[in-house]
Amino acid sequence: MKESMGMGGSVVSKNILEGKGKLKWCVREEAVNEVDNGWRFLSDIDTDEFLSDSSNMVVCDWGTIIEIEPAIIEIFNMPIGTDIILVEENNQKAFVYTETGEKVNFII
């Protein structure tokens, strides 16, 4: 597991970690403890039934998630309440807000 450089851990769908589905939904909630960074990641194949079983979600180091999907590096500092989707068009990835579909613009 890659070190997270002090960025904590996130709750992640096993479908992402096992390579069955691609990371799609990214939601930031209040952290539940000092290790939790508040990020929750769901896959493109997660169903309500799958998500209703808490054993299908695991706590994972931020660095491991970056290895799976490097695009998330950009979202780390987004505020609590962020609800975005990772989309891919023409071999380019972007984040859009779940409610509006508006593209997330990053200032780096």
d(CA 45, CA 22): 8
Q: Among candidates 58, 71, 67, 92, which has minimal Cα distance to 26?
A: 71
As a whole number, mean pLDDT of residues 12-20 equals 98
pLDDT interval class at 3 (50, 70, 90): very low
CB 60 within 8 A of CB 42: no
d(CA 24, CA 19): 13
Three-class SS state of 68: helix
Tokens for 97, please give them.
């807000």
Residues 6+ away with beta carbon under 8 Å from 23: 16, 41, 42, 43, 44, 65, 68, 69, 72, 86
Does this model's pTM top 0.85? My answer is yes
pLDDT one-digit tens code per residue, 43-71: 999 999 999 999 999 999 999 999 999 99
Q: Is the pLDDT of residue 107 over 60?
A: no
Return the domain boundaries, the chain.
Answer: 9-97
Three-class SS state of 76: coil
Tokens for 19, please give them.
């390579």
Tokens for 50, please give them.
């799958």
Mean pLDDT of the chain, nearest integer: 92
